[in-house]
Amino acid sequence: MSCCPAFIDLPEEEQIIELRKYLKTTGAEISEENSGGEWITDLMQVIDATETCWKSADEAQVEGFFTSVLSLVFIVPTAKIDEVVLSLCEKVVKGGDKMKELRLRILNNLYNGVDERSPVRYNVYCAMVKLAGQTNSVDCINTNLEEVQKWMKLWNLDTEKRVNLLRRLLEAFLECKQSETASKAMVELLRSYTEDNASQARDDAHRCIVHHLAQKDMYLVDHLLVLKPIKFLEGELIHDLLTIFVRGSLHNYMEFCKSNPDYIEKLGLSHELCIEKMRFLTFLSMASDNKEIMFDTMEQQLNLTADEVEAFLIDVVRTQLVQASIDQIQRKIVIRWSQHRTFGRQQWQQLRDMLERWRENLGTVRNNLQQLTPAS
């Protein structure tokens, strides 16, 4: 069985007849003759019948067939290109588990075959992301969020399409179990909402909070509070919980759970993990305010036994959010440096004061050097 050659040197109508003949060999229910109307209508009929291609045992023939299809798609007039591309993308995505690499390659060739500023690329990229998520192949396409932001501006997407594209990326990251990248996509998704529609993002905002709190190694979440959709949740329990993780203590968390039994479980969060994270976050606040912390203080505020303190401190230092040394004799920890849980006005002031001290010290060093240097 032979496939029609790619980029065949025939008029559009005759090339489509060759495509029809190939589809008949795959078992497609399609006429071998064109409809007699516009060639774009016949091309759409060919695209609609491509589902049987994925049953073929010869991947090279399938690739040659779609290369020929693409050669026709690329010359479809601008006024009709959207409909043709959407239909082709749908058929390629619905190919099941067959030839996933080839299907991504077909979409990639389609993507690269249209002008980089064309909004058509939006539909193709959305299809690529969907297929990559379904086939656990998200690493095979470019999903860099900075690049995606540039593309969305280039394609002049409205808010609805921006939200749709970012949500598709998010779903793909989650399907491929890329939690860290999914977290970044969630934040970008919420940022894409404007003042006018931020109130419509309630479900996305709620999901974003739960996702971040569920991540074992994600402690600092203060950046979520400034997002407009999350601000709209103020007054709700989920926002209260987030605020505790941003600036509250282990005691605050335990009181919240006492007042709202089963709420953590309903969110799908692990109560044990939340306690572990809040214990660390509470210590982070203590380390920001104190140069030395006694073991007894930690036992009381972090609800630890004497035997648990040192193991906890080792885990804290491993996060690299705190630099400290343990004084076992005096039963205390000496803080050299610690990450702030939030970075607001107070932290900016501290940074300003520190830079001022550095400038003064450098001025002193410069004056001393000038005094030591003999006059010429």
pLDDT in tens, 192-213: 988 778 778 999 999 999 999 9
Instruction: Say if 54 falls within a structural domain.
Output: no
The distance in angstroms from the start CA to the end CA of the chain is: 93
Instruction: Say if 75 falls within a structural domain.
Output: no
Region for 171 from its dihedrals, namely left if φ exceeds 0, alpha if ψ lies in -120 to 50, beta otherwise: alpha
Instruction: Say if 259 falls within a structural domain.
Output: yes
Backbone φ, ψ for residue 279 (5° rounding): -65, -45
What pLDDT does 32 receive? 84
| Residue 53 CA to its chain's centroid (Å) | 33
pTM: 0.80
The ranges of the chain with pLDDT < 70 are 1-9, 343-361, 363, 370, 373-376
Query: What is the tally of structural domains in the chain?
Result: 1
Instruction: Say if 283 falls within a structural domain.
Output: yes
Instruction: Say if 203 falls within a structural domain.
Output: no
What pLDDT does 269 receive? 97
Domain range for 324:
250-346
What pLDDT does 36 receive? 80
Instruction: Say if 275 falls within a structural domain.
Output: yes
User: Based on the number of CB atoms within 10 Å of its own CB, is 242 exposed (0-12), middle (13-18) or buried (19 or more)?
Assistant: buried
CA–CA gap between residue 29 and residue 49 (Å, rounded): 7
**What CATH number corresponds to the domain at position 291?**
1.10.10.10
Residues 6+ apart with CB under 8 A from 49: 23, 28, 29, 30
Instruction: Say if 268 falls within a structural domain.
Output: yes
CA dihedral 77, 81, 85, 87 (to 10 degrees): -100
Q: How many alpha carbons fall within 13 Å on the CB side of residue 140?
A: 20
Instruction: Say if 281 falls within a structural domain.
Output: yes
What pLDDT does 359 receive? 65
What pLDDT does 363 receive? 64
CA–CA gap between residue 147 and residue 355 (Å, rounded): 34
pLDDT tens digits for range 80-106 = 999 999 999 999 999 877 888 999 999
- Nearest-10 crossing angle of helices 159-175, 145-154: 150
